[in-house]
């Protein structure tokens, strides 16, 4: 994959393994959660969650529907507050981009306009630079020809790709992705993973990716954290499960 932007936001140096990869275990904690609890009525969506994510990690949050994955991502992203427990974030400025399970596209705007909302003049040197990144990501995911259609008229796969590209275009330090490929076939899901993995290796992009599809997570590289009934019951790599 060709390098399509120089991200000036990523000024940190990262501990590396002897092979030159980021060594997340020696990097700072982006999130550190202790005993998180959150109930909706009598449903214990989070029932005592301890969860740490280091800078430069790729973590797959797996578990069946209703296990609490979205709730945990929302708590990490600051969208909702836990009832109990402690959540600390990195002491450095960390820009987090969410990818919502329900996408949150602006339905009556074109796909292109949906992407333009990520333009930030303090992040990009110029609109031209932003457009160049946008074109590269759109080309990689094969959506360039269809950018003019309204979000509400786009098919499920296209809508997911737009929501993913919109998040990437903010040049985040952390991506909190909630089922980002549920409407995509494996080939396209792999393209999304490859883009995330590229930025992870190159810049230490931290990724937390929630999916109920354990097979998918097993095919990619990252730590798997498995949830069940609001609890984390496993953390480790696929090969040890």
Ligand X SMILES: Nc1ncnc2c1ncn2[C@@H]1O[C@H](COP(=O)(O)OP(=O)(O)OP(=O)(O)O)[C@@H](O)[C@H]1O
**Interface residues with Mg ion (CB under 5 A)?**
69-70, 101
Nearest approach, Cβ of residue 211 and ligand X (Å) = 8
CB-count burial class (<10 Å; 0-12, 13-18, 19+) for 218? middle
Q: Does 232 bind ligand X (CB under 6 A)?
A: no
Question: Judged by CB, which is closer to Mg ion: 101, or 213?
Answer: 101
Q: How far does CA 134 lie from the centroid of its chain?
A: 18
Q: Does 63 bind ligand X (CB under 6 A)?
A: yes
Q: Which residues of 31-51 are buried (b: 16+ CB within 10 A; e: fewer)?
A: bbbeebebeeeeebbbbebeb
Q: By CB under 6 A, which span of 47-55, 58-66, 165-173, 201-209 interacts with ligand X? A: 58-66
CA distance 80 to 4: 34
Q: Does 62 bind ligand X (CB under 6 A)?
A: no
Nearest approach, Cβ of residue 173 and ligand X (Å) = 23
Tell me which DSSP letter residue 28 carries.
P
Q: Does 82 bind ligand X (CB under 6 A)?
A: no
Question: Judged by CB, which is closer to ligand X: 112, or 178?
Answer: 178
Closest CA relative to residue 230, chosen from 69, 93, 89, 116: 69
Q: Do 161 and 149 meet the contact criterion of CB atoms below 8 Å apart? A: no
Closest CA relative to residue 197, chosen from 225, 177, 211: 177
66, 131, 183, 201: residue in contact with ligand X (rule CB under 6 A) = 66
Q: Does 1 bind ligand X (CB under 6 A)?
A: no
Nearest approach, Cβ of residue 65 and ligand X (Å) = 3
Question: Judged by CB, which is closer to ligand X: 68, or 82?
Answer: 68
Nearest approach, Cβ of residue 71 and Mg ion (Å) = 8
Tokens of 107: 């339905």
CA distance 144 to 184: 17
Q: Which does 67 bind (CB under 5 to 8 A by kind): Mg ion, ligand X, none?
A: ligand X
212, 213, 218, 231: residue in contact with ligand X (rule CB under 6 A) = 212
Interface residues with ligand X (CB under 6 A)?
40, 43, 45, 63, 65-71, 101, 212
């Amino acid at each position: 994959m060709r390098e399509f932007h120089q991200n000036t936001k990523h000024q940190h140096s990262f501990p590396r393994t002897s092979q030159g990869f980021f060594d997340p275990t020696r990097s700072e904690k982006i999130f550190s959660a202790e005993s998180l609890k959150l109930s909706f009525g009598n449903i214990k969506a989070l029932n005592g969650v301890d969860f740490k994510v280091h800078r430069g990690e790729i973590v797959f949050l797996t578990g069946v529907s209703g296990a609490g994955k979205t709730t945990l991502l929302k708590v990490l992203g600051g969208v909702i507050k836990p009832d109990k427990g402690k959540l600390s974030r990195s002491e450095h400025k960390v820009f987090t981009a969410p990818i919502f399970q329900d996408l949150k596209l602006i339905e009556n705007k074109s796909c292109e306009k949906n992407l333009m909302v990520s333009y930030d003049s303090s992040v990009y040197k110029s609109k031209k630079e932003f457009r160049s990144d946008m074109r590269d990501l759109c080309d990689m995911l094969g959506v360039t020809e269809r950018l003019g259609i309204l979000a509400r008229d786009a098919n499920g796969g296209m809508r997911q790709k737009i929501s993913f590209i919109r998040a990437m275009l903010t040049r985040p330090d952390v991506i909190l992705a909630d089922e980002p490929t549920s409407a995509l076939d494996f080939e396209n899901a792999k393209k999304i993973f490859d883009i995330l993995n590229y930025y992870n290796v190159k810049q230490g992009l931290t990724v937390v990716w929630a999916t109920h599809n354990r097979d998918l997570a097993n095919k990619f590289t990252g730590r798997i954290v498995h949830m069940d009934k609001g609890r984390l019951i496993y953390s480790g790599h696929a090969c040890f499960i």
